[in-house]
Structure formats: C-alpha cells, structure tokens
Structure 1
C-alpha cells in the first residue's frame, strides 16, 4: 500500500491521505475546489467542479494513472438542482481526456468542508 501526496492538489484538511494505491487500485479521497496556487475557492458551481476534477487529475498523474483509468466517481453536492451544470463540466472533462465515463453516484448533502458546493472522490484501476 502506498500513500500518494502531490503538492499540485490541496493538502488534506483532516487525518486522511489524498490517495492510497493498493495493488492496481488508486483510491482518491474526496477533493474540494481549492485552487492550490492561490488557496482561492471560487463561488460558482461550474468553476468549483472544474477545479475539483483538475485536482483529481493531478493526483492521478502523481500516481502514474490517467483519467481513462477512473472506474468509479462519487459526487457530493449541496444542490442537485445544479446537476446540469455539473454534468456539462464533468462530460467535457472526460471527453477532453479521451476517456469513457466511469460508474458514478451523485448525492445531495447538507454541507461540505469549507462551505464548498461540491466534493468528488474517485477510484481508478490499471
């Protein structure tokens, strides 16, 4: 088992790892939309979704995985009424990275860390 950590994605804000590699699996902890360079969290759901997916891609890269290796995504959002916007950014992300769409769950939650609107966790396999 290997603990994965990259400075290109937000550092954990609690007692957990960015990701764990176990055999051929990479399990990525829930990522929130913190821009690593500035520490800024944008207000809009589209910008937040984009940053979260970008941070996941940095973790994949550090682990020598690619977007096409993602097999499962779980999306947590505070407002399912924004799913159309989330889906648009999400779809573009996978298409741009020449990947098929992984299995996915999407749930509405009451609140997320740092009052963000979205958190995404992922599992990859190679």
Structure 2
C-alpha cells in the first residue's frame, strides 16, 4: 500500500491521506473545492466543481493516473438541483471516457462545500 500526497491539492483536513494506491488501483479521498492553500472556493457550483476537478487532477497525477484511467466516481451534492450544472462541467473532464458513477444528495459536506467527488482509477505501471 502506498499513500499519495501532493502540495498541488489541499492537504487532508483530518486523519486521512489524499489517496491510497493498492496493487494497481488508486482510491482518492473526497475532494471538496479547497484551493491547494486550503481556502474554500465559495463561488458558483460551476466554480466549485472546476476546483474539485483541479484537485482530483493533482492527486491523480501524483498517483500516476489520469482522468482517462478513472473507473468509478462518486459525486456528493448538497443540492441535487445542481445536478445538470455539475454534469456539464463533469463532461468537460470525462468526454469520451465514461467511468461508472454514483451521485447522491447529502445534507452537509465538510467546510460548508456544495460538492465533493472521489475517484477510483487504474495506475499506470
């Protein structure tokens, strides 16, 4: 097992790592719209979603993976009325590559974020 850590994404805000590689799979922790410096992006759901994907890109790269090797995503939203807007941004990062996905509405997310996404990806060997 290998723990993934990069300064290009926000540090964990609790007793966990940004991600873990087991065999050839990378499991990310959920990413919320924090900048690498730890500041919450409080703009529109579109701005928050782009920040989440920026964080995901950073941890994926550190793990030796990319969006094209993601096999599963889980999207957490505090308001499912943002589903369409998030899908538009999501499709910019996953164009022809369509990993399996779950999307659920939750009552709250850490730091008052409106979105959190976690991924599972194949690691290039």
What are the equivalent positions in structure 2 for 1:1-126 lying under 5 Å apart? 1-37=1-37, 39-95=39-95, 100-126=97-123
Local SS of the residue matching 2:94: helix
Q: Which of structure 1's runs of 4+ aligned residues deviate more than 3 A? A: none
TM-score by length of 1: 0.93
How far off is 1:111 after superposition? 0.3
TM-score by length of 2: 0.93
Aligned residues: 123
> CA distance change for structure 1 residues 25 and 102 in 2, over 3 Å: closer, same or farther?
same
Structure 1 residues without counterparts, runs of 5 or longer: none
How far off is 1:43 after superposition? 2.2
Structure 2 residues without counterparts, runs of 5 or longer: none
> CA distance change for structure 1 residues 12 and 37 in 2, over 3 Å: closer, same or farther?
closer
| CA RMSD after TM alignment | 1.2
